[in-house]
């Protein structure tokens, strides 16, 4: 007897062990479910779920996949229970292998529970409710606009879908503009940081120059005092000393500026 595409095998059979066959098929199903749910999340975020056929189709498919995964996981757990209760019939399955099987079942159940919760998450419900409200508003506006025309039901739905598509495109463009603005602000912040660094470097250079000027001024004061003493003692050499003083001043200024 076949069930869900798997051959029915007695779980306590020492010859046939269905665990790895079922495990491999579950892994394939989980990968498909993960890919579908990634698309589902994007559609939930970007489209109106109330009129988006792809989102609705993926929702139905995900529920069906989760149902089959739960059934197959129960089968795997049944084989584990059979092995635990009759260890002598399965000499090829040691404690390590049995622990690995239990871990796989636990991980698979966690994946199933996670996606089931996502489908009924409060945030998901809120988004779907908001989409229904938007459609109701568009439907009312469209009915008012075309109340006097002979629109068929199909034409009305197409018009409604076109309006919703335009709204979604507008929202997507707004998101792109916001992303561009965010990128520009980040670049401005980096530029401002660079300017701050340059200003700090210039400030440090000015402080160093001030310190050099102060040192030169101190040296010049010492020289001037020494010259004043010389001029006061030997009046005949005042002109020579005065010339030497000016020469020293120029030398010190050169040191202060170019040194």
Other Cβ atoms closer than 10 A to 165: 14
pLDDT band per the 50, 70, 90 thresholds, residue 184: low
d(CA 191, CA 185): 10
Q: Concatenated DSSP letters for 4-42?
A: TTEE---TT-SS---HHHHHHHHHHHHHHHHHHHHHHHH
Per-residue pLDDT, 57: 94
Per-residue pLDDT, 189: 56
**Helix ranges restricted to H, 120-145:** 122-145
Q: List pLDDT tens digits, range 194-212.
A: 676 777 777 777 787 777 7
pTM exceeding the 0.85 threshold for the entire prediction: no
Q: Which two tokens stand for residue 115?
A: 């996606």
Q: How far is CA 65 from the centre of its chain?
A: 29
Residue 101 near residue 80 (C-beta atoms within 8 A): yes
Closest CA to 73 of 109, 98, 101, 116: 109
- 180 φ, ψ to 5°? -65, -40
- For the chain, state the CA radius of gyration: 42
Q: List pLDDT tens digits, range 97-108.
A: 999 999 999 999
Closest CA to 135 of 157, 152, 111, 115: 157
Q: List pLDDT tens digits, range 52-95.
A: 999 999 999 999 999 999 999 999 999 999 899 988 888 889 99
2-149: CATH topology is Methane Monooxygenase Hydroxylase; Chain G, domain 1 (1.20.58)
């Amino acid at each position: 007897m076949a069930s869900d595409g798997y051959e029915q095998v007695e779980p306590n059979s020492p010859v046939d062990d269905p665990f790895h066959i079922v495990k491999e098929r579950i892994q394939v199903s989980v990968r498909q479910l993960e890919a579908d749910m990634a698309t589902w999340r994007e559609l939930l975020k970007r489209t109106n779920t109330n009129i988006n056929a792809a989102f609705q189709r993926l929702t139905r498919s995900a529920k069906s996949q989760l149902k089959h995964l739960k059934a197959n996981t129960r089968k795997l757990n049944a084989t584990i229970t059979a092995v635990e209760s009759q260890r002598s019939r399965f000499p090829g399955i040691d404690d390590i292998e049995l622990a690995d099987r239990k871990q796989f079942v636990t991980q698979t159940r966690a994946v199933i529970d996670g996606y089931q919760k996502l489908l009924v998450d409060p945030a998901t419900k809120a988004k779907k409710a908001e989409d229904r409200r938007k459609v109701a508003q568009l439907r009312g506006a469209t009915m008012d606009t075309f109340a006097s025309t002979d629109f068929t039901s199909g034409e009305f739905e197409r018009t409604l879908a076109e309006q919703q598509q335009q709204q979604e495109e507008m929202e997507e463009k707004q998101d792109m503009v916001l992303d561009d603005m965010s990128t520009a602000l980040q670049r401005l912040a980096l530029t401002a940081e660079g300017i701050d660094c340059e200003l700090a470097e210039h400030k440090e250079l000015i402080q160093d120059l001030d310190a050099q000027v102060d040192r030169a001024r101190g040296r010049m004061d010492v020289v001037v005092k020494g010259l004043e003493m010389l001029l006061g003692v030997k009046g005949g050499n005042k002109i020579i000393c005065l010339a030497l003083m000016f020469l020293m001043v120029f030398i010190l200024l050169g040191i202060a500026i170019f040194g």
